[in-house]
Structure 1
Amino acid sequence: MSDNSISIDVVSDVVCPWCFLGEKRLRAAIAAVGDVDVTVRWRPFQLDPTIPPEGKDRKDYMRAKFGDGDRLHQIHANLTSLGAVEGISFDFDAIRVSPNTLDAHRVIRWAGTMGEAEQNRLVEELFSRYFERGENTGDAGVLIEAAKVAGMDTAVVETLLPTDADADAVRAEINTAARMGITGVPCFLLEGKYAVMGAQEPGVLADAIRQISAAKARGELEKAE
């Protein structure tokens, strides 16, 4: 990695539409700061860890959360509009299941051991499968197919998914995020300490990347520790 470099840990959940927006906007921001060497790592967060492993009916779940009024419709309309700008084709009506995302985060963790590119591909694939195709990303078959698209060794994923491998490690990471005060996602942690909250516009993220990478190059981050 060059001296003009920065690491970004993205705390997110794969069933968070704002996180999908944040992923697209982060990509645009990184493209805009081509002179900065950016390393991205995806960290787990669960919007609702109480959802059972088999998931819940999406309509019932959202009705219990937002009621029967126009609020949910307005939220979806706003997200659809924002998503179109970033190249996302949100299809909320296609989603049938609200899944528990622990297994998805386990697979994302395994992708990270393979490399940054594989993890990035997997995260985007999972977002797309859930929000654009309405697939159940809590289903083992869907996760295995997504892993294949991302370039992972599917035999390893098929072997590990039925076990509890890394479940405690994922939960520990989620608890760490909570101790850091992260209560909503996406959260972008630059150099592990400077947080940018929410699905900010690409320009905002790009400015943050430039500022922190410049401060790091000047040695100011070390002085602040």
Structure 2
Amino acid sequence: MLIETFADLICPWCYIGKRRLARALADRPRLHVELRWQPFQLNPDMAPGGMERSAYLAAKFGGTERARQIHLVVEETAERDGLPLRLDRVRRTPNSFDAHRLVRMAARRGLGDAMADALFHAYFVDGLDIGDRDTLAGTAASLGFDFQAIKGLLATDAEAAAVASADSMARQLGLQAVPCYIFNRRYALSGAQEPASFLPLLDLAVDEQEGVTVAAD
């Protein structure tokens, strides 16, 4: 089964949703799945260097108090799901385009899903700026990639056209918020759903594809 996740690496609900999908998949161990990351930028017009976090929150939510209320809901949800989340450590809201490029680079070695996990941790737990290319190369190095090689690739336009095309496709399909999960390019499920919400679609795939092996990402 192919599951494509349209998400942004700076979206806390995408971070939570990824864990919930993993929990659902753990309940269906006989299902062979290819997990494929698809980029979606929540802030496509963000400056390349990102934006100071408090200014971003004030602009997006109309003030720090409203942002604090929203963050409290996110933090409580993450805690219930057993996910570490340290929004207090985040100092800049980055442009996530290069981070999406890095996930695609990693996917070529079968590590796209692992790279997404590493970038989520870097941003939501360590509070790192995942728009910074040194940070991105360091995150890649933690998965066994060569730091200088990745930094060199990020200095080129490698995977840039692919990321832009996928993001554009998502908008043409009508996506306005993420996460959104597409199953076998036939069925869609939006939002950071509870694990049980994924099971009917996973069970459908078991019925349709019993015994068919799909290489994991």
**One fold, TM greater than 0.5?**
yes
Residue among 7, 18, 26 paired with 1:12: 7
Matched residue, 2:79? 84
Query: d(CA) in 2 for partners of 1:93 and 1:149?
Result: 24
> Is the 2:4–2:38 contact (alpha carbons within 8 Å) kept by the matching residues of 1?
yes
Q: Residue 175 of structure 1: which of 168, 171, 176 is its match? A: 168
Residue aligning to 1:148: 141
Higher mean displacement: 85-94 or 53-62: 85-94
Structure 2 distance, partners of 1:82, 1:171, is: 31
Q: Which residue pairs with 2:185 in the alignment? A: 192
CA distance in 1, matches of 2:181, 2:162: 20
Matched, 1:55 2:58: no
Q: Are 1:44 and 2:39 matched, yes or no?
A: yes
- Runs of 4 or more off by more than 4 Å in structure 1? none
SS at match of 2:192: coil
Letter in 2 for 1:77: L
5+ long unaligned stretches in structure 2: 211-217
Gaps of 5+ in 1: 1-5, 218-225
Residue identity matched to 2:150: V
* TM-score of the superposed pair, with normalisation by structure 1: 0.89
Measured in 1, the distance between the counterparts of 2:148 and 2:127 equals 25
Amino acid in structure 1 at the alignment position of 2:198: L
Over the aligned positions, Cα root-mean-square deviation in angstroms equals: 1.6
Question: What pairs with 1:108-147 in structure 2 (closer than 5 Å)?
Answer: 108-115=103-110, 118-147=111-140
Asked if residue 158 in structure 1 is aligned to residue 155 in structure 2, the reply is: no
Spell out, residue by residue over 1:152-195, the C-alpha distance to the aligned partner (whole angstroms, 9 max, x if none): 34343122111122212210111111111221110111001211
> What letter is aligned with 1:179?
Q
Residue 72 of structure 1 pairs with residue 67 of structure 2: yes
Change (3 A) 1:108 1:69: closer
1:70-111 deviation per Cα after TM superposition (whole angstroms, max 9, x unaligned) = 321121111111101222221111111110011000000011
Checking the alignment, whether the CA contact within 8 Å between 1:9 and 1:43 is kept in structure 2 is yes
Match of 2:213 in 1: none
SS at match of 1:114: coil
Q: TM-score when scaled to structure 2? A: 0.92
Contact 2:54 2:64 in 1 (8 A): no
| Residue matched to 1:209 | 202
Q: Percent identity?
A: 35
